[in-house]
Amino acid sequence: MMRQLIENFPQQLADAFSIGKNAILSTRNQEIRNVLITGLGGSGIGGKVVAQLVEDEANVPFYINNDYVLPNFVDEHTLVIVSSYSGNTEETLAAMDCALKAGAQVAAITSGGAVLDLCKKYELTHIIIPGGKPPRSQFGYSFVQQLFLLCHYGIIDAQWIEKLSGVSSFLESKQTEIIALAQELCAENENRIPIIYTERAFEGVAIRWRQQLNENSKLLCWHQVFPELNHNEMVGWDAGSNCYHVMMLQTSFDHPRSRMRMEISKPWIEQKGALVSIVSALGENRLEQVISLINLGDWLSLLLAEKNNTDPVIIEAIDHLKGELAKR
C-alpha cells in the first residue's frame, strides 16, 4: 500500500492542484499582519516546508504551531491555517478553538471530521481533500492547498500557482533518477542510525525525512541544521562512532557560507567514523528542489522498511497512545 502511495505522489500533486484551482474561498475581513499554521505530524509538516519555501517573498511573519495552545499574539489580524488530515486531531482541534476565541481569521484543510463540522458551523474558509489514507502519505494535498490559501489571502504572489502547475510533471520525469538515488542511500545505510543535516532554510525538508524514517522505517534518527550545528553538535562527534549515516541535503539555494561549512564538516565527521553522503536536490527552482528531496526521503523510508522486513503502514506506538488518551 505505501509503495503505491509513494509511486502516486506526482499524480497526487496534480490532483491537489486541481482541488486548489476549483476551491471556493471567502474573502478576508481584516488586514492580515501575521500567519500561523497549526497541525501535527503528517498534517503539520507541510506548514513548516511552505513557510520556509516562501519566507523570502511573504509579506508578513509566519509562525508554525504543533501544540494544543496558541501564542498570545493571535488576534483578528492573524490568519490561522488549520491543517488536520482526519479532522479529528485533538491538539489541532484545541488550537482551532483557541483561534476562534481569539477572533482570528481561520481557514482549514481537512478531509472531514470535527474540523469540517466547525468550518460549516462558523462558515469558515476551508478546502476538503480526499481522506482514508495514512496522513503522512498525503503530504501533497496539505502542501499545495496551503500555497493556494496564501495566494488567495495575498500573502504571496500568484506566480506560485504557475510554479505549482508544472511541479507534478517535473517530478514524474525524475522518478527513475530519484528511485536510483534512494536505492544508493539505502544500500549505503547498512543498519546505521540515520542523521539528516541540511541548511537552515530547508529544515522542514529534514524534519519530513526524519518523520518518514520514524514512521515508515521504524527507525530512530535525528536532524540538525547548518550553521547552528557547527556551534554545538559538531563537538559531540569527538566521541566517535561508526554506527551513524549522515546524509547532508544540499540545494543550489544554500547560503554560500553554509555550503562551505558542509564541505569543512564532512571530512571531520568522517574522521570520527561516520559515513557521510552528500544528497543533491534535483530541479531548477526552489519548489522543484524541495519537492524532489521530499520524494527522495519518502522513497528512502520505504526501501529501508522493505530491507528490514518492516511494514511501513503500521504505527502501533501511535495507535496505542491514541487509544490510551481516549480512555482519559
pLDDT tens readout for residues 268-278: 999 999 999 99
pLDDT at 102: 98
Backbone angles phi, psi at 213, to 5 degrees: -70, -35
Q: Which of 123, 162, 231, 284 is catalytic?
A: 231
Give residue 240's pLDDT: 86
- CATH 3.40.50.10490 in the chain: give the residue spans: 2-165, 174-307
Q: Which three cell numbers stand for residue 81?
A: 491555517
Q: What is the pLDDT of residue 95?
A: 98
- Asked if 283 contacts 251 with a C-beta cutoff of 8 angstroms, the reply is no
Q: How many CB atoms lie within 10 A of CB 266?
A: 17
> By three-state DSSP, how is residue 218 classified?
coil
The mean pLDDT of 226-245, rounded to a whole number, is: 96
* pLDDT score recorded for residue 145: 97
Residue located via cell numbers 482514508 = 132
Q: Which CATH architecture has domain 174-307?
A: 3-Layer(aba) Sandwich (3.40)
Question: Helix H segments across 174-243?
Answer: 175-189, 203-215, 233-236
CA 103, 107, 113, 117 dihedral sign is: positive
Residue 26 in this model has a pLDDT that exceeds 90: no
Catalytic site includes residue 48:
no
Confidence bin at 173 (pLDDT 50/70/90):
very high
User: At residue 38, what are phi and psi to the nearest 5 degrees?
Assistant: -120, 135
| The pTM of the whole model exceeds 0.85 | yes
Share of the chain above pLDDT 70, in %: 100
pLDDT at 92 over 90: yes
Mean pLDDT calculated for residue range 288-317 = 97
The CATH architecture to which 2-165 belongs is 3-Layer(aba) Sandwich (3.40)
pLDDT of res. 54: 96
For residue 106, the model assigns a pLDDT of: 97
Strands (E) located in the chain: 34-38, 62-65, 78-84, 105-110, 125-128, 193-199, 222-226, 244-250, 275-280
Residue 220 pLDDT class (50, 70, 90 cuts): very high
Active-site annotation holder among 91, 199, 203, 215: 215
Task: Give dist(CA 9, CA 64) in Å, integer.
Answer: 24
CA-wise closest residue to 158 among 36, 291, 21:
21
Query: 19 pLDDT exceeds 90?
Result: yes
Statement: residue 28 has pLDDT above 80: no
Tens digit of each residue's pLDDT (9 = 90 or more) over 29-60: 789 999 999 999 999 999 999 999 999 999 99
Q: What would the pLDDT profile of 248-302 be if each residue is shown by its tens digit?
A: 999 999 999 999 999 999 999 999 999 999 999 999 999 999 999 999 999 999 9
Mean pLDDT of 101-111: 97
pLDDT category at 162 given cuts 50, 70, 90 is very high
Catalytic residue status for 231: yes
For the cut 80, the answer to whether the pLDDT of residue 247 exceeds it is: yes
